[in-house]
Each structure stands twice: as structure tokens, then as C-alpha cells.
Structure 1
Amino acid sequence: MLTANIFSRLTFRRLSLLLNVVFFIVFQFILTGCQPQILQAETARSQWVVSTLSDPKTFNYAFNQEFPHVFLFTAEGLTSLNAMTTEIEPALAESWEISNDQKRIVFTLRENLKWSDGKPLTADDVVFTYRDIIANPAIPTDWKDSFKVGKSGTFPQVNKIDDRRVEFLLPEPFAPFLSATTGGATNQVGILPKHALYKSLTTKDSEGKPQFLSMWGTNTDPSQIIVNGPYKIASYTPGQRVIFQRNPYYWRKDSQGNQLPYIERVVWQIIESTDTAILQFRSRGLDSVEVSPENFSLLKREEKRGRFTVYNGGPRFTQTFISFNLNKGRRQNGTVVDPIKSRWFNTLEFRQAIAYAIDRQTMLNNTFRGVGTIQNSPIFPQSPYYLSPEEGLKTYEYDQDQARNLLLKAGFKYNPKGQLLDADGNRVRFSLITNAENRTRVAMGAQIRQDLSRIGIQVDFNPINFNTLVDRLSNSLDWECHLLGFVSGTVEPHDGANIWLPDGGLHTFNQKPLAGQEPLVGWEIADWEAEIGRLYIQGSQEFDEARREEIYAETQRIAQEYLPFIYLVNPLSIAAIRDRIQGVKYSALGSLSGTLWNKYELKVTE
């Protein structure tokens, strides 16, 4: 009996020890699983860890169509935008001169500029970027839309004066020119290295296309990516992270002459869920994170204990909307959009009815917890060109009776079950897609499905992977309705030219095939669509500010009347940033999805 008791106690102790060991291992696994981004934390103290929802799609800035993107860390332009003052400031160019007739601009580069491989950055690189890439008809870059001057869409002539000076000769005055040169921090033109990329422009692939079209994809060895920004790409692990290393040849220095940036390494964690990102931030795995409305109160309560600060920069520089595919074009193997549904989508009363049927105030109250504003315009309230509802901008207050009346007026009808049918008896039903990684958009889509069911429309809501969604919008064009957002980096309306010009690279609601893609037969441009494009050209030619305001006011009136985008709710720009990150200058304009516009002067303190 005594022996049995001793054995029992020994067995219990061993079992307890074993359980403790297992618990410790599991606990460590959970911690490292929740915080995979803590990479060699003991040896990399000068490190800033931030997150993004999806993998980068390119390392070639000329082909970027996403936000946020790696070029926020790696690229600079001739100028930069101060996110606190909204002023355009010198960057790679230390100064510029504009002629009295506004048709000649001469930039002077800083002395001794270098690329991340140590090679000189000169006027040759500027000419290469603007003349050989942007003005090259064989290169389908969205940068083109920012530099097409006048009705003819002529590009500026670019000439090298000497190694440090470049002149741009414009066919006519072009008001947004400087804004378009502001580089990686605003999604505008960043200078690319001629010595690394010129050969790829002159060398053809097996299809006779420039090899440049396939240069610097995300499968490229990061050591081959030559940049001029504060950081260069050190490594990329798909589905996990991009690591940026300090660029030793970056031009900026502080007032004491110390090389910038201060932080040695940035870890950009790829976390395909906003909820998971918040969990990692709360467990100290991230140094900064965008705060969604549903997490605002929680993080605000934890500020002191968690040793971080919640910054509120006001309304985000984003447009959140649903949009119908208005493309009437056809491919050889069939139409882009089902012709029956295309007729619905291209009926103005249908789009207006949808706008009236969505309860945006409830969306603001519930999904956004009141942390935002209802959106009615493609131009941001902070912009001097914004037209408010009080100034006459059309709005669509929640009114399902008005929605039904518009549908009946357009020839739709209801069956005894309350289901909406078109004039031919077809049930009105369409698919709505959004990016599944964004919890807020998924919640918005669920409400839209419910709201539209109340007027007899069946919405098949299908959140999908962001990369798949982008491919549908820009390549296959195979979609019916999407819920997405655009991000801007400036208060200049022409920053949206690639959205509003009919041949723009982000004219998603009626997308023209990009260079090299199969052409569309029967692609049409509506009169109102062409008029917005015409006004954007006219606005770019106007230097009188009062007149510019009126031109862009008219673009907003047309957009709200014809609804290529049905705007929803604009959240506030809120971020939580660890107090160990010093030097933060936070604004909605400079939040850049948590990557912060002044990253080159941030410091880490322990």
C-alpha cells in the first residue's frame, strides 16, 4: 500500500512535469504563431514592424495599381508632399524654375545623388523615366494619365541640360504638373534607374514585347531591385513578410548631418485579416496598425497600459463605394457582362435606386460605430475643390419607396413574392465582390445585400482574395458589382485622372483593355462619362483657382447624378502607434495605411 502511494505520487509528479512542458511548448508556439514578425528581436532593436493585408503584386513601380505598396518605402520623385502642410517640397530635385508662360519647368537635382547600388543618379534617369517609360506607347503605366496634356493627350518633352538639370517643355500650361512629380509617398511618379532597366526596354521577348513588361516582378531577387528611397528590399517571403533594409545611399540627412533614415529595418508583415493584425498589435508583435472603427474603443482604453498612442487624422483620403460594370464591350469568346444584366446596370434609374436603397447612416452607426462620415463626393472634404451637399451636391438619403418608384419608372416590376423582375420577366440578381481580408468591407457588403433584398433584389455576396479581385477588374473584366475603395495621396483632383479619363488605367466601371490585352468590340463611352473626362482635362489647363473650383464642382455634380460609383462611408484615419516609435507626424493625408509619410525621420527608443 505504501509502495503504491509512493508510485502514485511519483507518477503524478512526472505527469504534472510533462503537462507543464507540453503547456510551455504550446504556449511558445502560440506566441510565435501570433507574432511571426518578431524576427531576431534581440539583435534588431532598430526595427519597425507594420502590416499589410496582401502580398505585393509588383516590384516595378511603373506597373503599380495597389495601395499600400512597397514603393512607399523604396521610391522618391523629383518632389515630395508634406502631409502636414500639403505643400510640395524638394526631394530628388533641390529646386525648380517655372517660366512665366507656365510651359517650361527646369528641375535641378541635388548633388551626388546615388542609387541603392551606389551608382550615380543623374538627369539621365529622369529623362529615362519620363520619356522612355511614361511616354512610351508600349509601356502600360498608370503614370501616363497624370502627364497627358490637353485634349490631344500630348506628353511633355523632356530634355537633359546637364547631369543635374532637366527641362520639361509643355505644349500648353498644365496646372497639376508639380503634384504628379511627388514620388513614392503619394503614388505619383518615382524616378527609375536607367542603368538597371534601359536594356529591358530595347530587348524584346518571344512575343515581340519589351522585356521591361516582365521586369522586377515579385519573384525577382531583391538584391536586383535598385531604388532611391529611404529603404531597399532585403527579402520577400510570400504570404509572410517583406523586409526593408536601410538604404545607405539615401540622400536625406538630419540637421546634424546624420544619415537618414534612423531606423535600420522595417518588417512589413502580410496579415490577411484586420482582426489578426489587431491581435498582433495588442500582443506587441506590431509597432503600428490602422485602427478600424470596431476596434477603436478597445484600443483607446488600452493606450496607457499598452504604451501606445491612438492618432486621429480626420476623414481618410479614401473613396469607399460600390460600382457596377458598365462595360458594353465584347471579346471574341463572348461578352464581358451578361447582356441582360448590362442593360440593368446601364439604366440610370437602376443605379439611382440602388443608391437610395442603401442605408448608409445605419452602416455608419453599426459597421463604423459612428467613427466616420457619410460620403457623397469623389473629392475629399479637405480639398479646396470639394463640393459639399450644402453647396448643391446631390445626395441619396435612405428612401426605399423612392428606390421602388425609380425601378417601376424604368420598367421593372414585382412578382407576387415581392421579387424584382425586369420588363422581360428576368429576376434581378447580381453578384457583389469585395476583398475578403478587409473585415469592415465584408460587413458593409452583408448590409448591402440585406438592404437590397428589401426592394426585391437578390445579391450574391462573394468576398474573395484581393489579388483575384484586382485581376478581375484590370484583366479579365469578369465582374458585375464590386465594393472597393480608392486611395489618394494629395488634395489635387487631377490625382484621380486615371479614374475619370475614359482611357485611364483605373477607369474600372468601364475599363478599356490595357496595352497588350485582347481588344473589346463595341466598347462605348457614355456622354456623361466623356464630359467628366473633358472637364478633368479643362481643369488641368486652368490656373485661376476660382475657375478650377467650379470645373471640379461640375465633375462632382455629374458623378453624383450618373453614379458610376455609389459612395458609402468615409472612415476616420486612425492609427495606433507604439510610443517607442518617435518622431510621428500624423495626418490623414500622411497616414499611408499605417506606413507614415515621414518614415525617414522616425526613431525607435527602447
Structure 2
Amino acid sequence: MRTKKLLPFFFIVFFLLSCSTNKVSTDRIVIGIPADVNTFNPLFAFTVDEGSITELLYLSLADFRWNDEKGGLDAFPMLAKKWEWADDSSFVIFYLRDDVKWSDGEPLTAEDVIFSLDLYSDPNVQSRLYGFFEDLYTDEENHIDVKKTFDLKSPYVLQINFKPGSYPRLIDIVHPVIPKHIFEKLERNNLSTADANFNPVTNGPFVVKKWERSQFITLSANKNSFLYNPDNVQELVFKVIPDYTSRLTQLKKGEIDLMELISTEDVSSLKNNDNIVLKTIDGREYDYVGWNNIDPLVYSQGGGITPNKLFGSRNVRIALTHAINRKEILEEYLYNYGELAVGPVSSIFKSYYDSEIKPYEYNPGKARTMLEREGWKDSDNNGVIDKNGIEFSFKLTYPSGNPLREYAATIMRNNLNAVGIDMTPESLELGAFIDMLSSKSLDAWMIAWYIPIPLELKAYWYSDLQNTHLNFVSYQNKEADAVMDELDKNLPDKQRKKLYYKFQKIIHEDEPVTFMYWIADIVGINKRVENINITPLGAITHCWEWSLKK
């Protein structure tokens, strides 16, 4: 589920941003966003836009960039000049820059790094990263044990220790650093509502100049930052424009310079605009149809695992995928801005994606044959196949307000009806939908996943249903579990590739869900913006490198 699609909407008055709506600033870039942020604190940056903005305000020890050639991340120095791993990966030593100051003039030191990780892991704080530090020494509440984990060599040299048997990665411990001298004075239980979250003391390439809630956020280049370049953009404005059509109109008129999530039906008009260039963020989001692999009623009555009467068989699930014309939806609604999905590993991960696995083709005849072999036949000639007195009839649930899924549900209903399956589309208010999804009380549903970088599989596909809360379909396969356990380890890339290939093959053969299509995020950018690099990491990254045509 993509967080940024779930944001609330607010209204904006543009004259607050500029004395003239027609005047284009020569040192300012305006980005249109659908809703305001709730915080500038990376501890609580739960939405995509909040994450993008806070990363411009708070730097991390390392800077990660997308390497398109290999399809993965490369790490570069940022707050840390360099780092050295122990031969056995039992610890890593960071050597910090000694010229970084907070926006209030205080120096940034390793004490800030220790304090930040302590806060991220504190159960009283409940940060967005709580529970994600299993490779470090932690207590029974997953709170980092500061004494065991950190060895402060000097104000600018820090050793981070990992517990035996762990498989640490740099990206798991490198997070935006916040100022100890500001937040150590505050009660941790109430940290999320502290004024320091809204009037931040920062260390990044930008500072908050002005925030008019529900209207705009203005960031100014931090001239004291080691990243500062006078030739690059001096001001970023995040303009809150709740209405999609209004955002699009302002992009066309040049009142905003960048807009994401452009609808495919608007692409042709934007291509005719000489001032706009279109780019896509590929391979981060896919729609899928979830088939509950277990009986939801039995599970709700005591946690028992019994195969779902309709969807418990993998052959039935494969037949359902054969029955759905996904290509029609991709072509007719998405105008091919995306690709058919074959599994949860995106093709952007070039080192690990198995291109030999092909999507199940649309073949209703094959679907009928497979269903019949599984015992599903229309025994009473009423048009609906049945087995053991149970008709193949169900509701397909999806969150309301999404035109793509409404269109897809209509196509699916007709497709499934053609093979003797009675499917009724049902839209639900988002909150109610998520509640039912989390409780595993739905039989079938349609929604999207926004995938993390780097790859994460266990949270979605591991058999331990008590601890993998995102495994909504209750998929269980011991062979897949063994592969995911191995992928947790530090392994040579060649071995990791074999494991990822094996996992994709297992998933394809089990088809726990119908993988529909990867959906491209279409981004519109005014051509006056230069040095912007759109990658799978997003559109609003490394903005301090952006510039404007003179």
C-alpha cells in the first residue's frame, strides 16, 4: 500500500506563495503536493512526502544513490567521511566530518548519532523505525542497549557493535541524525507533539524558512552546509494543492515546476506542452489481487490454519490468473505505463530479477480446464461452477475512490463470469478495508504494494503469521522460508542471485496472489529545472543538486 495515496487533502491559496501567479522565480522551484505534512521530524515521517522533505533537512552518515546498471544502491560519504567494517562484520567504525554544524550553530558530533538511534528504537517514542534494530544489542522491548552497542572513540569517531549471529547492513543503521541538545530536554512520551518537530534545528542542505499549514512549505538553501552551491537552487516551495486537476493546470501554466502521480489520460496533453518533460519512476508499485490462502472463519475462531475453500489450491489460483485479462487493463487504462507482474521482485533489481519467468497468459480456456481438474464444475447448469455443494462465488473488496481498481474490478467480473465464477465487486472506506485486511477476514481483495529498497521479502511472504503482519494472504511455504532465512545473511552476490531466483520460481509456481501489473509513477517537470535525476528512489531526492536555466 502506498502511503502517499492515503494522504488527507487540504486547500491552498496561491497568492501566499508569490505576489504574482504569473511570475516565475529564477531561484525557486515549486513542487505541487496533494497534502500538507504533519511533522519535520524524521522520527515520525510516516508518509512519502514527509520522508522526502525531512531528508533535505536532516542528513545521515551515508548517502545512498541508485545504481541503474546493477539495479541497487551504492553508498557514499555524507556526515561520515568514511567507515570501516570489521572482517567478521561484528562492528563498523564511522569517521564523522568535523565541520558540520546544526542550524543554531552547535557542532554535530557522534553523540548526536548515538542519541538519534537511541530515540529511533525507544518504545516510548514509537518512531517509524521502532523494532527495526534486531542486529544491534537490544533489550526485551527492542530498545537499543546503548552501552553494548556504541563505543565512542572520540567526538567524531564512533564504533557500532552488532550482536553475535547477526547479519548487519549499512542501510539498516544509517538514518537521519537529529540534534541531541534539542531533544534530550523533552519528554519522550510526548515527543511526537513537541514544538521542535515544527520549528526544527537541522543539519541538512536546506532549512525551513516558512510554513503556512495546509498552504505551503518554503525551504531555503543552508549556506553553512558543506553541500551548499550558490549556482544551484536557493529555495524549494512545497505547495499544497489538494485537487488533482488544479495541480495539473498549475503545472501546465508554469505555476508549479514538478508534479507526481500524473494520470495516464493526461499524458498526451502534457506531451504537447513545450515547457514540460515527462519522466517515470518504474518498478516501485504493483497492484495485486489477494486470494486468502486460508479459511478466514476458522482462523478468526482460534487461529487454526485450514485451506480456503475457494483459494486454498495453487492450481485454482493459477487458473484465476489465467482467467483475468490483465493486459487489457494495462493497455486500455494505463496506456502501457507499466508492465505485467510475475512476482514481488521488480525488474529494477537487475541483479536479482529472473527475466526467464514469464507472466501467466490470459487464457480462459486453460483456466476452465484447470478448474475442472480441481473438481469445479457447473453441476446444476446455473452458470456458476461448484464443488462439494459450494458455488464458486465471492466478493472482491477494494478501497473506494480508486478509478483504476473500479475499472479493473469490472473487467475481472466479466472475465471470471466467462469461466463460471460469480464475483461481486465491493468498495469499502479505506479505514474499514484496512481493518478487515489486517484481521484476515476478507476472502479476496485488490490493492497495491509500494515496495521497499533494498528488497524486503520476509515481511510479506514468511510463514510465521503471528510476526509477519503484512502477509495478508497467509501464504505458507517452508521452502520459501528457508530461502528467505538464507537471504538474511551476508552472502556473496552470486549466491544471493541464486536464492532470489529460487524464491521467484517458488512464488510463481504457488501464485499466492494474482500479480497484476507494475504501475509507473509519471512525473511532470518544467524544463527550466536542470540536474534532476529521477530514479526508483523517487523524484524529490538530492534537491540541493538541482539548478535552474539561467
Distance across 2 between alignment mates of 1:506 and 1:236: 39
1:69 to 49, 70, 76: 49
User: Is 1:310 matched up with 2:278?
Assistant: yes
Q: How do 1:572-591 residues align onto structure 2 when only pairs under 5 Å count? A: 572=520, 574-587=522-535, 589-590=536-537
1:143 to 110, 114, 129: 129
| 2:266 matched residue in structure 1 | 295
Question: Partner amino acid for 2:271?
Answer: K
| 1:396 matched residue in structure 2 | 360
**Structure 1 position 311, deviation (Å):** 2.9
1:509 to 457, 467, 471: 471
Quick check: 1:102–1:173 contact (8 Å CA) kept in 2? no
| 1:3 matched residue in structure 2 | none
Quick check: 1:413–1:423 contact (8 Å CA) kept in 2? no
| 1:168 matched residue in structure 2 | 160
Identical amino acids, percent of aligned pairs: 19
Quick check: 2:93–2:158 contact (8 Å CA) kept in 1? yes
What does the per-residue CA deviation read over 1:450-480, in whole Å, with 9 as the maximum and x for residues that have no partner? 4334332323241645x77556656x66655
Question: Partner amino acid for 2:359?
Answer: T
1:96 to 83, 88, 91: 83
Closer/same/farther in 2, CA of residues 447 and 97 from structure 1, 3 Å limit = same
Distance across 1 between alignment mates of 2:124 and 2:486: 27
Unaligned residue ranges in structure 1 (runs of 5+): 1-32, 183-188, 204-209, 512-524
TM-score for the superposition, normalised by structure 2: 0.78
SS in 2 for 1:509: coil
User: Is 1:271 matched up with 2:268?
Assistant: no
Quick check: 2:296–2:442 contact (8 Å CA) kept in 1? no
Quick check: 2:459–2:471 contact (8 Å CA) kept in 1? no
| 1:28 matched residue in structure 2 | none
| 1:493 matched residue in structure 2 | 455
User: Is 1:48 matched up with 2:29?
Assistant: yes
User: Is 1:127 matched up with 2:95?
Assistant: no
**Structure 1 position 336, deviation (Å):** 11
User: Is 1:235 matched up with 2:211?
Assistant: yes
| 2:3 matched residue in structure 1 | none
Quick check: 1:63–1:141 contact (8 Å CA) kept in 2? yes
Question: Partner amino acid for 2:65?
Answer: N
Question: Partner amino acid for 2:418?
Answer: R
**Larger CA Rg, structure 1 vs 2:** 1
**Structure 1 position 343, deviation (Å):** 4.3
Q: How do 1:20-419 residues align onto structure 2 when only pairs under 5 Å count? A: 36-37=13-14, 39-42=16-19, 45=25, 46-53=27-34, 56=37, 61-62=42-43, 64-66=45-47, 68-75=48-55, 76-83=59-66, 86-116=73-103, 118-134=105-121, 136=122, 143=129, 147-149=133-135, 157-171=149-163, 177-181=169-173, 189-198=175-184, 210-212=189-191, 215-216=192-193, 223-231=198-206, 234-235=210-211, 237=213, 240-246=214-220, 248=222, 251-254=225-228, 258=230, 262-271=233-242, 273=244, 275-290=245-260, 291-302=262-273, 304=274, 307-312=275-280, 315-325=282-292, 343-390=309-356, 393=357, 395-414=359-378, 416-419=381-384
User: Is 1:444 matched up with 2:408?
Assistant: yes
Distance across 2 between alignment mates of 1:505 and 1:287: 43
Question: Partner amino acid for 1:317?
Answer: R
Taking only aligned residues, the RMSD between alpha carbons, in angstroms, comes to 4.3
Question: Partner amino acid for 2:88?
Answer: D
Distance across 2 between alignment mates of 1:538 and 1:451: 40
Distance across 1 between alignment mates of 2:181 and 2:254: 42
| 2:7 matched residue in structure 1 | none
What does the per-residue CA deviation read over 1:99-132, in whole Å, with 9 as the maximum and x for residues that have no partner? 2222221112222434455544332232233344
Question: Partner amino acid for 1:223?
Answer: F
Closer/same/farther in 2, CA of residues 559 and 604 from structure 1, 3 Å limit = same
Unaligned residue ranges in structure 2 (runs of 5+): 1-9
User: Is 1:483 matched up with 2:449?
Assistant: no
Quick check: 2:343–2:515 contact (8 Å CA) kept in 1? yes
User: Is 1:599 matched up with 2:543?
Assistant: yes
SS in 2 for 1:69: helix
Quick check: 2:40–2:54 contact (8 Å CA) kept in 1? no
Quick check: 1:116–1:247 contact (8 Å CA) kept in 2? no
Question: Partner amino acid for 1:177?
Answer: R
Quick check: 2:294–2:306 contact (8 Å CA) kept in 1? no
Closer/same/farther in 2, CA of residues 354 and 602 from structure 1, 3 Å limit = same
SS in 2 for 1:535: helix
Distance across 2 between alignment mates of 1:308 and 1:344: 49
Aligned length: 518
**Structure 1 position 96, deviation (Å):** 0.9
SS in 1 for 2:343: coil
What does the per-residue CA deviation read over 1:265-307, in whole Å, with 9 as the maximum and x for residues that have no partner? 322424354x5543332233431123443332322122x2xx1
**Structure 1 position 138, deviation (Å):** 6.1
Distance across 2 between alignment mates of 1:191 and 1:276: 36
SS in 1 for 2:488: helix
Question: Partner amino acid for 1:598?
Answer: H
| 1:454 matched residue in structure 2 | 418
**Structure 1 position 567, deviation (Å):** 1.9
Closer/same/farther in 2, CA of residues 56 and 423 from structure 1, 3 Å limit = farther
**Structure 1 position 577, deviation (Å):** 0.6
| 2:483 matched residue in structure 1 | 535
